[in-house]
Amino acid sequence: MTSNLSEVKKDKLEDYYEMALRCNKCGFCRHVQPMAMADERFWGQCPPGQNNKYDSYFASGLLEISRAVVEGNLKITDKVLDILHRCTTCGFCEEFCEPGSRLKPLSIIMALRERCIKEDKMLKPHREMVDSMIENMNPYGQPRTERLSSLPEVESLSSSSSDNLLYFGCCSSYKSQEIAKDSLEILTRGGLDISVDKDEICCGLPGFSIGAEKVGLEMLKKNIDRLNSSGVKRVVFVDPQCQFTFAQAKSHGIDLNFELQHISQTILGLVDHGSLTFSPLQEKITYHDPCYLGRRLGIYEEPRKVLSGIPGVTLLEMPRSRANSYCCGAGGGVSIAFPDETALTSENRFEEAASLGVKSLVTCDPLCFGSLEKAANGNGIEVYDLSKFLLRVVEER
């Protein structure tokens, strides 16, 4: 699992200089390691490197850029900003570079992004995103009135008293509200007593992901202060990126008075308890590991156990799966600044799923769902969020 930010975090880019010098350009940040390669068609691992085919876009190249910036030999130009912000923060480079070489490429990349913010160097779409986080409490420029507008039950559930709270996240609150609705329904069908927060705001990750730590931290603290005072004991996350952000709270000196759990873990608990049962379904499917759920949080097996527990379902693994999973292309602010780049990456991933001859592709992250659904584009494979897929087969209690 990629080391998380709760470990000792260096303060600034200069603190990583010696580490950047130790990169020996071995190339393991670029591709699946040979012993784990299941299909030579799908060997690449760094989305911006694969898409742009130039060294600067790979982690090793970004470390060289970081070194040159520290030495004063390179200014942060528009071109540097362009290259730097095509990284999806998928974490593959750090997954394999840290254990073997004790290097943290992603941490260095994030430190360089923070340097850009301190010098007031931002891409225009990212500046607009941060402005929206401050003004609208979401990164999409959407007015608060649009949040969960298709879920009128949020008002009553928000006033209910429960030990469990469902945290939707911005993506399913604004862009993919059907995921929010399906997530709430599958937990309710499992008999879980759960409340929601009608005043939920952005977790702060979009800010953190582009180096705007100040605005990210401000939003994270607002969320946690409110939830700590609510008395809730467990927060269930629809979006693993939000969960990852909350999991970093202690590294920022913020205490949590509640447990963090991804919805796939909650669903598995309901299945194990016998509260959720499924009808048979004769279908071949595959599962896409979201980067933040898998490499960043270490949650690989729970979604697979739930899907494999459906009678008749055949779960096939893509050549790149679990720690070797390929990114959907949307993270790290890339889908906001470079939608064409996201499309290239998600199409690569969709081609990999299609190579298995499956009928359905299931994932557990609203951002992944959105990019993969666009890549599918009616090409014969249905893309599902986990909750929606389960609602096809869940039995009445």
How do strand 313-316 and strand 259-262 relate by DSSP bridges? Answer: unpaired
Tens-place pLDDT, residues 330-354: 999 999 999 999 999 999 999 999 9
Q: At residue 118, does pLDDT exceed 50?
A: yes
Q: At residue 158, does pLDDT exceed 60?
A: yes
Q: Please, what is the average pLDDT of the chain?
A: 94
Tens-place pLDDT, residues 15-53: 999 999 999 998 888 988 777 777 888 989 999 999 999
CATH number of 13-121: 1.10.1060
- Give strand pairing partners of 382: 360
CA distances from residue 248 to 8, 217, 254, 260 in whole angstroms, order as listed: 11, 10, 9, 11
Angle, vertex CA 330, rays to CA 96 and CA 89, nearest 5: 30
pLDDT at 6: 36
Alpha-helical segments (H) within the chain: 17-21, 47-52, 59-71, 78-84, 92-101, 105-118, 124-136, 154-158, 170, 177-189, 205-209, 213-230, 240-247, 263-273, 301-308, 334-337, 339-354, 366-376, 386-391
80-89, 92-101, 138-147, 243-252: which has the minimum mean pLDDT? Answer: 92-101
| Same fold flag, 13-121 and 136-269 | no
Domains of the chain: which residue ranges? 13-121, 136-269, 277-391
CA distance 326 to 346: 9
pLDDT at 3: 47
The CA dihedral of 388, 324, 353, 348, to the nearest 10 degrees, is 110
Q: At residue 9, does pLDDT exceed 80?
A: no
Average pLDDT over residues 99-113: 93
pLDDT at 5: 41
- 3-class secondary structure, 10: coil
- Give strand pairing partners of 165: 195, 235
Q: At residue 7, does pLDDT exceed 50?
A: no
Q: Give the DSSP H/E element, type plus range, for residue 235.
A: strand 234-237
Q: Domain 277-391, what fold? A: Rossmann fold (3.40.50)
Question: pLDDT-derived band of residue 240, with 50, 70 and 90 as boundaries?
Answer: very high
Question: pLDDT-derived band of residue 8, with 50, 70 and 90 as boundaries?
Answer: very low
Average pLDDT over residues 310-331: 97
Q: Which residue has the tokens 């730097």?
A: 84
pLDDT at 159: 62
pLDDT at 28: 86
pLDDT at 206: 98
Tens-place pLDDT, residues 164-193: 999 999 999 999 999 999 999 999 999 999
Q: At residue 2, does pLDDT exceed 80?
A: no
Cβ atoms within 10 Å, residue 161: 9
pLDDT at 10: 62
Among candidates 84, 91, 75, 100, which has minimal Cα distance to 22?
A: 100
Q: Which CATH number fits domain 136-269: 3.30.70.100, 3.40.50.1860, 2.130.10.10, 2.40.170.20?
A: 3.40.50.1860
Among candidates 184, 166, 125, which has minimal Cα distance to 342?
A: 125
Cβ atoms within 10 Å, residue 320: 26
Q: At residue 156, does pLDDT exceed 90?
A: no
Average pLDDT over residues 319-328: 96
Cβ atoms within 10 Å, residue 33: 13
